[in-house]
Amino acid sequence: MGRGSAWHLNNLATAEANLGRTEDARRHADEAISAGRRMGSNLMTGLAEWTLAFIELSTGKPEEALDRLLTLTSLDDREVNRMIGVRAMPDTIEAAVRCGRADQLGDRWAMFERWTTASPTERRQAMFACCQALLELRPPQEAFEDALARAHALAPMQRTRTELLYGEWLRRERRRQEARVHLRSALERFRALGTPVFADRAAAELRATGETARKRDPSTLDELTPQELQIAGLVAHGLTNKEIAAQLFLSPRTIGYHLRKVFSKLGIASRTELVRDGLPTRG
C-alpha cells in the first residue's frame, strides 16, 4: 500500500467520522496508521491518530481523545510530526478543558502561541482566539467574538464548531437567550453539513436552554441520489447555484434541474426553506 492509499484511507476515515459512521472511521484510520508505519511516515500516522482523537472528542470521550492528543502534540518527541502537532492543538485544548485536565498541556500553549504569531493569518488567529476563550486566558466573550469575527477564514466545520463552543459557554453562564442564537445557528449548519454527531450535541445544548429543536423526517434523505444530497447540502450551507456549479464542474442549469428534484423529494417549496431549516438529520 502506497502513500496515495494511506491518504485516501485517512480522508475516508475523516469523512466517516464527520458523518457519524464511527466504526468505519476507526477501521479506516487504523488501516492508515498501519500503512504509515510501513512507510515510516509520521505524517500519515499523525493524521490518522488525529482522526481517531477527533472521533473520541466528537462522541463525548474527551479523556480518551486527550490521551491520544497529548502524545500527538509532544513536539520534543522525534517520532511526532510537528505540522500535525500544531494543527491538532485546538482539539487538544478543547479535550483538555472538557475533561478538566488543562494543567497537563504543559508548554504546548506557548508553542501554539509562537506558531500563531509567527504567521498571524486570519485562520490561525480565529483558532487562537477560540482557544484563549476555552482556557479563559482573556475574557471568554471577547475572545469568542474575536474568533467569530475571523471565522470566515475557517473551514465550515471548524467555523460551526466555534459557534457551538460559544453557545455552550453562554448556556453555562445562564445567558440562555444569547446561547440559543448561537446554538440554533450551529445546529442548522451541522445539519446542512450532514454531521449528525455534532448536530445532536448542539440540539442537546439547545434543549438545555429550554428550547426544543424542530425535527424533520430523515427518511426523505434516502430518496436523494448521492449527487442530489451533495447539492442539497451545499445549498443548505448558503451557496448559490453558480458557486455550486463551479465547485462540482457542472452548469448552473444542471444544478437547477437537480434542485427541483431535491425540493420534490424533500417536500419543500424553495431553497429558502432548505437554507433556513437545513437537511433532516438521520438517527
Whether the model pTM is above 0.75: no
* Two domains, one topology: 119-213 and 217-283: no
The cell for 125 is 488567529
pLDDT in tens, 204-258: 998 998 876 555 555 667 778 888 888 888 888 888 888 898 888 888 888 988 8
Q: Taking a C-beta distance cutoff of 8 angstroms, is the pair 265, 228 a contact? A: yes
pLDDT less than 50: residues of the chain = 283
Class of the CATH-defined domain 217-283: mainly alpha
CATH architecture of 1-103: Alpha Horseshoe (1.25)
The cell for 39 is 512507510
pLDDT in tens, 79-94: 889 999 999 999 999 9
The cell for 80 is 511526532
Domain spans in the chain, listed from the N-terminal domain onward: 1-103, 119-213, 217-283
Task: Output the pLDDT for position 243.
Answer: 87
Rounded (5°) CA angle 17-178-149: 65
How many CB atoms are located within 10 Å of the residue 5 CB? 14
Q: Taking a C-beta distance cutoff of 8 angstroms, is the pair 35, 9 a contact? A: yes
Task: Output the pLDDT for position 139.
Answer: 97
What CATH number does domain 119-213 carry, 1.10.10, 1.20.140, 1.25.40, 1.10.20? 1.25.40
